[in-house]
Chains A and B, each alone.
Chain A
Amino acid sequence: MFIPCDRGGGSAAPDFKGFTLLMPAVSVGNVGQLAIDLVISTLDMTKVGYFYTDCLVPMVGNNPYTTAEENSVELSINAEVYSLPSKKLVVLQIRSPFIKNKYRPFCETLLSWVKSSKCARVVLLSSSHAYQRDDEQLLGTPLRYLLTPDLEKAVGGRMKELNWKEMEKVAAYPGINDTDKVLHIPGGGITKLLFTESCSEGIQMAVLLKFCSEGDNIPDAFVLVNYLNEWLQLIKSEVSTSNNSTDLSSQWKIPSSWRLLFGNGLPPALF
């Protein structure tokens, strides 16, 4: 599945042992994917390979993180892997939806790649439909986290220190029986499947998600990536002198591919 980039000189495939794998779920508002774009663009990560898979709709374009003429002509496809060894971080970006009935094989292949590449843990960025929140979830923070039992032992305490809220379970049979609770992540794409599979296979996985709706999801992406940064500290938070708060939004670099998200310029003849 994973094909390393040929960096010339016969270099060996990259080693991800002990790394944190950061990846998005293709979910409502594409918030996870937008947040991953911000991480790759801000940390100026190097592409180290891609996934050769028949599970995602094919697409290709030029480098979405281009900053200058010289780096604008590298081709980019639907599932690519970037790495930053100094932070022991490897990032997978998924750029297109799943082909019908192919999301299960993709999850299986992905998790077996995680195990074979010996990544220490997986952090999945996702989102869920805001309109499906219950009364209590409507109040307070729209951000939630989930940890598999193996990761709970390692970092559960840190989540409590950060005062994060765990994703609530819902009744399996609402109105009939409120005791059986299940995990329900509407609009989360493969989030629930990946999480439950990781639990049963002993993979250390954290899910960070935000409740949101379809629309302009750029602000949601910023909120989610700042949430991630509270834990992983990927970029340093500078205290803003004007209002004495840590506002990181200006420190994330928006990639050039985010231009024209809502259409072209207007024809002058319209006015």
Chain B
Amino acid sequence: MATFFGEVVVAPSRAGLDEEEEAREETPEDREIRREIEKKRYGQRGEIRKGEIQVLWSCAEESLVCSRFIVAIGRNAAAFLSSFILDSVCWEAIGVVKLWNEWCRTSSTTNVLPTDSFCLFYRLISDPTVLLCQCSCYVAEDQQFQWLEKVFGSMQKKGLQVTILSTCPVADYKTQESTLTLVSPFLKALKTKEFQEQVCCPLLEQPNIVRDLPAA
């Protein structure tokens, strides 16, 4: 592809699969980089490996009975829960997710600052089947499936209703008019056909989609 200035560049394909990547031979530099990453991965004992996810529960039960699970993904959604829902009287912290990737690393402490990257679980003291998750860290593409399997795998689902809260930039919203004139912020929802209750806002119209962990 020729750019505006006349130089020819290889444009990344929307297809997303660079077969050349797979066939390329390793240079000495590549080998060195790979060795350093391996050293970091298998570093200190007890350290989590890159790409791996650990779900650590502080409660005694082997699997948690859950009827309502509210998941807040991203800093804004996590902050919403901190500001309006969570408090130390009604909710107790019962678990964390430990992971690291190129963007962030979470720790096993439940005592976090709003600016930290964390993924914490809380339980409503008055009804322990109501669980809440605040996930302000970025869960990478190749970790999302693992996150799902490990978190939902720890639960005994009892008529489970899951509510996912997340945010997207207004600029990503596809609409006939310009987003400049849109009144924001605004709410949109997606629901499965099993969800029979009233939704509090309009449904997400075509051709908009949701990606990453909320989609997973």
Contact = CB atoms under 8 A, between A and B. Distances in A.
Interface centre among B1, B144, B207, B211 (most CB of A within 10 A): B207
Contact of A60 (B141, B144, B181, B210): B210
Nearest to A185: B19
Interface of B is mostly: loop
A259 B19 contact: no
Contact of A267 (B14, B173, B178, B215): B178
A4 interface: no
Given A28-B15, A189-B19, A214-B13, 16 more contacts: A27-B13, A28-B13, A73-B193, A97-B15, A97-B17, A129-B13, A186-B20, A256-B206, A257-B207, A260-B207, A263-B174, A264-B174, A266-B178, A267-B178, A267-B180, A269-B180
A57 interface: yes
A154 to B, nearest CB: 29
Interface stretch (A98-106, A203-211, A242-250): A98-106
22 contacts: A26-B15, A27-B13, A27-B17, A28-B14, A28-B15, A29-B15, A57-B212, A58-B211, A59-B215, A60-B209, A60-B214, A62-B204, A99-B141, A100-B141, A186-B20, A187-B15, A189-B15, A259-B174, A261-B207, A263-B174, A264-B174, A264-B177
B176 interface: yes
Interface residues of B, number: 41
A26 B213 CA distance: 22
A36 B11 CA distance: 24
Nearest to B21: A100
A267 B13 contact: no
Interface of B: 1, 11, 13-17, 19-20, 141-142, 144-146, 173-181, 190-193, 203-216
Interface residues of A, number: 49
A268 interface: yes
Contacts of B16: 26, 97-98, 189
A258 B146 CA distance: 32
A61 B178 contact: no
A49 to B, nearest CB: 15
Nearest to A29: B14
A66 interface: yes
Contacts of B205: 62, 72
